[in-house]
Chains A and B, each alone.
Chain A
């Protein structure tokens, strides 16, 4: 798939991957063997009938192809861009055994964009059931649950605490990977299906879950995500110029501070930026910092390249753009200038030892190897924990020791009757498609629950 060239794209926030043309999409679809027992479908958490939609692309029936995808997935333009297909459908693809698997994700993106550009989506209304469901959180889990529930004829209100729907898709993943107009269009599709979205509604404070159940709704789905940033708990961490990845990305994406002062929210980025961590969030932060004008951007990670949790494709993109990887390195302390702005970061070299429970080799510090790095911006991307407000304000809702909500995997059922949960709030940080899968399963379970309540 064509991409913007690294030396150009590292100075702009436009989308990096440009997407297939119709001819390129048809050519890719023609490679599909149309296996009688397709393996790819089993790798898809939302069970898209992959060979069917690919066949329709081959036949140039693009409208039909997108309909086929949307039967199973309400947010295809998003999934086509950010799903780790290499670990899911494409990993199962027979073509991959001998060479290159079919680029299912890119085809999914193609049909979704085709429809979005033509504006042809058709919506069929269901017979209303008279039941009302509240969905808390407008991330991928909540949006999917809502879409499925309205398709089943229930009335759905989504409550979102922020001023825009989308969850991580709108506040976290940068514009150059997932344009915000696409998130807005897919959220709009869920609205056109019939769900309503109330933004600025922090549940737990504006209304509690028990209040929603008593006053207005027959069931509740909680998809509040894992958005609480973790810090390193190191000396000097509250100095200026040290951001959590979430703060940095919220400012840049949700608040559009790359367009400051046209947009009011400021961001200050220095010349030398260190991003701590090596997951997708770290890659997104590093690549955003570069686009905001930093001279040098480091990824500082305590293990080696083999253990980096980010998608290979994102690591490659970051390398192409000139991000410097300082591996086997861990920060220990931050020093500031007289105004309280970070100036140096003390680090220690690490070595890898025995394999730990996570299956990765455990890093340990090399004694006496401390050294100073000159930095003026530090972005901490070492993980996120569950949003706590629902758990703090809902009596009887059972949680785990990690602060996630306890819910059955197949149904999303929680310890409270009529309350279901799914996505990152249940699993901890995971993926868009897993959150969507959970939203979908919970929607089915809620449908059954509502039927049994008659």
Chain B
């Protein structure tokens, strides 16, 4: 059992949980993830480690309530427990001195990106960060990012804050040079940014988030095509070369169980959707 120490709502449907998991906290590195099971009948879902605290023995993750499991997770409170958390999983990000690094984060993935930005700064890099969301009200971690980055740009899909869309990146990359780009966020955003960075020859790492089950290489559902080869995101990734990933296939494979996911969500809401816990 893994006890929830802190819960916060960062924006509509975006929640933060800090849980007690000292062994995982002691080993976690930026870029890694955990797999959790909320209760006895639960599914295994992956979430990126957004922060860890070795002294307190806690791990933090931040998630979007998109379906049954994340909604159920969001209905838990401080003091409640999660039955299973396995981690840290995946290959840690490469952290070293690259020079000038461009970090681009979208949606909830801004949180784990923050961990990387921090580590990259500590390794002596100059980090320019771009954070994006659908609209201003969904933007998270702005102040935290400003603290750790050399410069922060803001992008929204609807233009309610900062730049509207990623076109401005082209201007930025024309004006300034970068030795590496790190992109974490929705597939469409990672694809757009990778296309732009490719035309400027900037080595670019993206974090892919396919469907996963075991997270230790045993099922192959997380397979992604990278440079024409099949890779397992859970043990070979989740970070891959953004110029090589087959994003179109990734999106299709993420949607494989859409009808079942809807059914699962409806079924849960019918049963009371978290309210039943207060009975």
Contact = CB atoms under 8 A, between A and B. Distances in A.
Interface of A: 161-163, 171, 199-202, 205-207, 227-229, 231, 233, 237-238, 240, 243-244, 246-247, 250-251, 255-256, 260-268, 339-340, 387-389
B213 A251 contact: yes
Interface string B79-120: 000011111110000000000000000000000000000000
A353 B221 CA distance: 35
Contacts of B32: 205
B41 A250 contact: no
B216 A202 contact: yes
A389 B218 contact: no
Interface in B42-82: 42-44, 68-69
Given A250-B219, A389-B217, A266 B235 contact: no
B37 A163 contact: yes
Contacts of B217: 227-228, 387-389
Contacts of A262: 41
Nearest to B229: A233
Given A240-B253, A264-B69, A200 B84 contact: yes
B266 to A, nearest CB: 8
Interface of B: 23-24, 27, 32, 37, 41-44, 68-69, 83-89, 213-214, 216-221, 223, 225, 230, 235, 249, 252-253, 255-257, 259-261, 263-264, 267-268
A161 B87 CA distance: 9
A263 to B, nearest CB: 5
Contacts, number: 120
A188 to B, nearest CB: 16
Q: Is the interface of B mostly helix, strand, loop or mixed?
A: mixed
Given A238-B223, A262-B41, A227 B218 contact: yes
Contacts of A264: 41-43, 68-69, 264
14 contacts: A163-B44, A205-B27, A228-B217, A228-B218, A238-B225, A244-B219, A247-B213, A255-B43, A255-B44, A261-B267, A263-B41, A264-B43, A264-B69, A387-B216
Contacts of A200: 84-87
Given A201-B23, A266-B263, A340-B255, 17 more contacts: A162-B86, A200-B86, A207-B23, A229-B219, A237-B230, A238-B230, A244-B221, A246-B220, A247-B213, A250-B219, A251-B213, A266-B257, A267-B260, A339-B252, A340-B249, A340-B252, A388-B217
Complex A-B, nearest 6 residue pairs according to Cβ-Cβ distance, in ascending order: A266-B260, A247-B219, A264-B43, A340-B252, A200-B86, A227-B218
A162 B235 CA distance: 15
A260 B230 contact: no
Contacts of B68: 264
A207 B253 CA distance: 32
A233 B268 CA distance: 38
Give the one of A205, A228, A387, A389 with max B CB within 10 A: A205
A202 B263 CA distance: 32
Contacts of B83: 163
A251 B211 CA distance: 13
A250 B234 CA distance: 16
A266 B261 CA distance: 7
Contacts of A233: 230
A213 to B, nearest CB: 16
A388 B89 CA distance: 13
Contacts of A237: 230
Nearest to A249: B219
A52 B28 CA distance: 53
A263 B37 CA distance: 11
A163 B24 CA distance: 15
Contacts of A247: 213, 219-221
Contacts of A207: 23, 27
A389 B86 contact: no
Contacts of B259: 268
Contacts of A263: 41, 43
Contacts of A199: 84
B214 A162 contact: yes
B87 A266 contact: no
A171 B68 CA distance: 23
Contacts of B84: 163, 199-200
A157 to B, nearest CB: 13
